[in-house]
Structure 1
Amino acid sequence: MDPLAPLLELSEVADALENARANVDRMLWHEALRSGDAHVAAEVALHEASATLALEGYDCDVERLRAGDFTDPIVSGALRVVEALPGLVDVWAISPRYVLAKLHLLASRDFPDSGHDFEPGRIEVDKDGSARIDAMCALVASPTKEIPAALTAAVVHGELVAVQPFPVANNIVARGAARLALASKGLDSKLLVTVSAGHLDRHPEYVGAQRAWSTGTPDGVRAWLKHYGKALEAGAAETLQICTELMRSIE
């Protein structure tokens, strides 16, 4: 049995993740994606970067990102992470630990000196944290078809936030890695779901559910997994809105 399978037995979790999958599948049938998805993917990347920055407390809207109207290295780092994800999907399934280091390097390489003495890309955890990261990477590298992609992504995201493998930028890395988990297992293979916008849409729940996951209790784990399913639904809805606006702009 897959070690993640028991999580699907928690109340309402399987339904939440299945509803998310169905909403993503419907999104992928939008007319804007029938003649190619490059324009949609570019817009999603900007919206994703803006949302992940908002979750970090930064007000950097899509138009500012599009215009390059920013100098903050944290903003630059978050944008680099989002832009790098398509090229890391295949690598993620083979070498997740390498990808985590790469994401952190992209996110933090230009961080100002704020009292944190760290090496960008280097995982720094105690023995227990290292064991959890190893276990998570083993799950990623040895997936089973029976486990929903959304469940794997939720576990990746939850574990990275709980373990905090880096001194800084853990949440940015976690959101990026979770999107790679969705892509590598085929649910969102072209990274078209604006997942961070879904988390932002349910921000108080996002923060609370992260803390709940960290407790390791069945109720805490259930709260996070249910949130992740609902965030995916909201992220798919955000992408549908992007598709609709793109269609209007070319009419």
Structure 2
Amino acid sequence: MTTGTDPLAPLAVLPGVPEVVAEVRKAADRLYGHRVMRRRAAEVTSESALRGARASAALDGADWPLEEVRRRSDFGADEQARVVGGALRVSAEVGQLLSIWRHSPLQVLARLHLLAVGEGTPADQAGRPRRDGEVAEALFPLELKAVEGPAVDGEPFTGQLPPAPSAAEAAARLDQLAQLLVARADRTPGSGAPALVVASVVHGELLALRPFASHNGVVARAAQRIVMIAEGLDPKAICPAEVGLAELGTAAYQEALLGYTSGTAEGMAAWITHCGRAAGLGVRESTAVCEAMQRGMV
């Protein structure tokens, strides 16, 4: 196992990051210790997948009530239904992709995109990164509006998300990200940047790159969940950070992403802490599920 310097380690000591990492770890450990997890863990995992998928679809503009998502079986009737259906397919398969992720993250990302697009995207675009001349779809309903971002050199700024990089640049940076993740699989357990930091970087980088022509949001959020599983923070996939992201709101999500794309220490810290708060809210959601199960309500 390698013990070399982790390039992500400096991010773990940015202001506010150690605190949010510790808070999420403590909350997750408490959830894993819940008595319901001893005998009904699979049910909690299933419910977490459903709620995470509903929230991820909501962030992509298909904000359906949970019970509607639970009830429906036809997800091809219209565009919103296809968005929800794609998020459900992605969420259901995340746990099955873990072994492939450890040695081939790009293969997993392609699979996630294929699941997300379903029948709503031309077949020659499904499961592959965009090519020269292909434009990535907008990430958020608010993407064309300026929002206030994190401070740069102590001064607040208002800006928009930068355009997606060219297909060639996105492919090169995606390959670098994959190499970093494969190298982490060989590290000594517990060394390097904590799981939350790695998951946040993967999430942010995929949103910034927008490597596919469409459905980049749901793919990025699923990749964050896979990292949290692979890195041991959430091995049973019961902490749906997507729920927290939806609860914090799309505008806050975009504002935090502006921090990531700025590349500044302040911006990166803002992004990681936002992802941490979302993960904490996901833990709270599953804790409520466990409490309901314990009371016989579920």
What TM-score, normalized by structure 2, do the two folds share?
0.79
Give the number of equivalent residue pairs. 248
AA matched with 2:58: A
Structure 1 residue 168 and structure 2 residue 172: aligned? no
Q: Which residue of 2 aligns with 1:131?
A: 172
Report how far residue 61 of structure 1 moved.
2.1
Q: Which residue of 2 aligns with 1:46?
A: 50
Report how far residue 118 of structure 1 moved.
5.4
Report how far residue 171 of structure 1 moved.
0.5
> Is the contact made by 2:257 and 2:271 (CA closer than 8 Å) also made in structure 1?
yes
Within 2, Cα distance between the matches of 1:152 and 1:120?
Answer: 26
Q: Which residue of 1 aligns with 2:235?
A: 189
Q: RMSD in angstroms over aligned alpha carbons?
A: 1.7
Query: 5+ residue gaps in structure 2?
Result: 76-80, 131-165
CA offsets 1:21-64 (integer angstroms, 9 cap, x no match): 11111111111101131111111111111111111121222212
Q: Which residue of 1 aligns with 2:128?
A: 122
> Is the contact made by 2:55 and 2:63 (CA closer than 8 Å) also made in structure 1?
no
Structure possessing the higher radius of gyration over alpha carbons: 2
Residue in structure 2 matching 1:83, options 92, 104, 129? 92
Structure 1 residue 95 and structure 2 residue 104: aligned? yes
Structure 1 residue 107 and structure 2 residue 94: aligned? no
Within 2, Cα distance between the matches of 1:84 and 1:112?
Answer: 20
Within 1, Cα distance between the matches of 2:172 and 2:227?
Answer: 20
AA matched with 2:6: D
Within 1, Cα distance between the matches of 2:201 and 2:247?
Answer: 20
CA offsets 1:184-209 (integer angstroms, 9 cap, x no match): 11111111111101111212322210
AA matched with 2:180: L
Within 1, Cα distance between the matches of 2:265 and 2:124?
Answer: 34
Residue in structure 2 matching 1:73, options 66, 82, 86? 82
> Is the contact made by 2:12 and 2:194 (CA closer than 8 Å) also made in structure 1?
no
Residue in structure 1 matching 2:65, options 61, 68, 79? 61
More deviation, 120-129/207-216: 120-129
Secondary structure of the equivalent of 1:54? helix
Within 2, Cα distance between the matches of 1:244 and 1:36?
Answer: 12
More deviation, 38-47/118-127: 118-127
Structure 1 residue 215 and structure 2 residue 258: aligned? no
AA matched with 1:177: A
Report how far residue 112 of structure 1 moved.
5.4
Secondary structure of the equivalent of 1:60? coil
Q: Identity over the aligned pairs, expressed in percent?
A: 35
Within 2, Cα distance between the matches of 1:237 and 1:118?
Answer: 40
AA matched with 1:227: H
Secondary structure of the equivalent of 2:100? helix
What TM-score, normalized by structure 1, do the two folds share?
0.93
Query: 5+ residue gaps in structure 1?
Result: none
Structure 1 residue 244 and structure 2 residue 291: aligned? yes
